Amino acid sequence: MTDSPHISTSQRLFESDAPQALAAATFLLAGFALARQHELLGEIEQVLRESPLRHMQTPGGFTMSVAMSNCGALGWVSDRKGYRYTPMDPLTNAPWPVLPSCMQQLATEAAALCGFAGFMPDACLINRYAPGTRMSLHQDKNEVDYSAPIVSVSLGVDAAFQLGGMQRSDKPLRIGLQHGDVLVWGGEDRLRFHGVLPIKPQHHPLMGPDRINLTFRKAG
Ligand code: MD6
Ligand code: FE
């Protein structure tokens, strides 16, 4: 027995191109990134050569367990001064790497399939989870315009994603996310709390023990 509703990827009845609605404006595109996984991983590797993954500081002075980098005109950063988007990578003192075309097209196409035509991300946050790493419940609210959706791509080992409500105390729905899955959310769900439960030790043929998550946003 689990203590929350559970949609497991192994229990999916079918995989299709049709978005699966998880809430009013939250959709799962199961396996949508698989067709371009190799091109995608190549682009990520190139971005991370330019702006490496790093463990950022929280405003409260803790070190984040998820390693992060960015590409696109704006990148999400956290340090003692707070959470925000910046045009420059504070580690390299150079602009963030350009958003590669395969990544941008994936995000634009996924958003359009879910009813968000014309989504043009200006920021892509790259998160790397090692085994045992989690992301506690949070809202994404550092973006200027909440009318744009967020497109989230999962790569590597499986994760249990928590889709909460508008209050931190709302009981989250648990969603199994696998390599190649894409989540799109926006509209009335844009400010839902969400998180990732601790990553279990696993092995993925392309990614080893790690999970990488890309989140594409219109940040500025
Ligand atoms: C993750 N994702 O999946 C963390 N935020 O690793 C997020 O925090 C997230 O997946 C906003 C929209 C979609 C997401
Ligand atoms: Fe988030």
The model's pLDDT over 62-105, given as tens digits with 9 standing for 90+, comes to 999 999 999 999 999 999 999 999 999 999 999 999 999 999 99
The pLDDT value recorded for residue 16 is 62
The CATH number for 92's domain is 2.60.120.590
Per-residue pLDDT for 32 more than 90? yes
Per-residue pLDDT, 18: 87
User: How does the average pLDDT of the chain come out, rounded?
Assistant: 93
Residue 110 confidence (pLDDT) above 70: yes
In-domain check, residue 95: yes
Please give the structure tokens belonging to residue 197: 């439960």
Tell whether the model's pLDDT for residue 12 goes beyond 60. no
Q: In ligand 1, which atom is closest to the CA atom of 138?
A: 8
Q: Is residue 150 part of a domain?
A: yes
CA distance 190 to 200: 28
Does 21 fall in a domain? yes
Residue 4's pLDDT is what? 43
Q: How much is the pLDDT for 13?
A: 54
* Side-chain half-sphere CA neighbours of 212 within 13 A: 23
Query: How many folded domains does the chain comprise?
Result: 1
Give the number of whichever ligand sits closest to the CA of residue 159. Answer: 1
What is the extent of the structural domain holding 209?
A: 6-217
CA 78 to chain centre: 16
Residue 186 is assigned to a structural domain of this protein: yes
Kindly tell me if the per-residue pLDDT of 11 is higher than 90. no
pLDDT band, very low/low/confident/very high, at 14 (cuts 50, 70, 90):
low
Which residues does ligand 1 sit against, CB inside 6 Å?
A: 127, 135, 140, 150, 152, 161, 183, 185, 194, 196, 213, 215
> Does residue 1 sit within a domain?
no
Gap between the Cα atoms of 71 and 87, Å rounded? 10
* Over residues 168-195, mean pLDDT: 97
3: confidence class by pLDDT, cuts 50, 70, 90: very low
Q: In this prediction, what percent of the chain has a pLDDT beyond 70?
A: 92
Compute the chain's Rg from CA coordinates: 16
Cα–Cα dist 115/118, whole Å: 10
Which residue's C-alpha comes closest to atom 1 of ligand 1? 213
Helix (H, G, I), strand (E, B), or coil: what is residue 44?
Answer: helix
Q: Is there a domain that residue 211 lies in?
A: yes
Establish if 180 belongs to a structural domain: yes
